[in-house]
Homo-oligomer: A and B are copies of this chain.
Amino acid sequence: MAKTDHVPLPAVRRLSLYLRQLEVLHAGDHQTVSSKQLGAALGISDAQIRKDLAYFGQFGHPGIGYRVPELILRVRRILGTDKTSNVLLVGAGNLGRALFSFRGFSKKGFEIVAIFDNNPEKVGRVLDGPTKVTIQPTAEMDATVRDHAIRLGILAVPGPVAQAVADEMVSAGIRALLNFAPVTLQVGKEVAVSSVDLAVHLEQLSFQLGCVSG
């Protein structure tokens, strides 16, 4: 596959949605699907779907549409989720523990293999999720990242310490950060960051409520 750093991120996000819907179809034993059918299920136009997929190659078959199992494999390969990725998690508070026990990650090929937290009451405790993982102090991060070839990290620590922890993660070798802390992280261009800002989501909805009721 050609490396495709010119693809707009919204197209990549939609690729995830296509994959999810394809997996639903596959579970229902559907062998083929048209861009029209796929779009109807997702509220996305078929032209948009064809355009998004065209960034990555030729996928349809004339008179057939897309072959579901084939397109699943190819989209997974594009996203890099055709193989399992080791992931680390920093922050073993409520949110961190919920994320660890969330089965959706491992279903998608992401395995949380290490958990860090510097709270002395938490270090050494074993968390039981999809696997059992012992909470480590962040001083051990460098070695763990190296030993498990980890490049993806989840940050679930309070806002005031988030930047310092992110710096530690990057210096240990993490190159992609899923950030749950309510701060704008400053990282170098070699690091990809995706932020899940829960309060911002609620504020958006609150604003929209004002509009629909106004």
Chain A residues near B (Cβ < 8 Å): 3-5, 9, 12-13, 15-17, 19-21, 41-43, 78-81, 85, 87, 94-95, 97-99, 101-102, 104-105, 107-110, 151-152, 175-178, 182-184, 186, 190, 192, 194, 196-214
Contact = CB atoms under 8 A, between A and B. Distances in A.
A206 B79 CA distance: 6
A128 B19 CA distance: 38
A186 B43 CA distance: 8
Nearest to A177: B205
A203 B194 CA distance: 10
Secondary structure class of chain A's binding surface, majority of residues: helix
A105 B199 contact: yes
Nearest to A186: B43
Given A42-B184, A190-B212, 4 more contacts: A15-B203, A105-B199, A192-B208, A194-B201
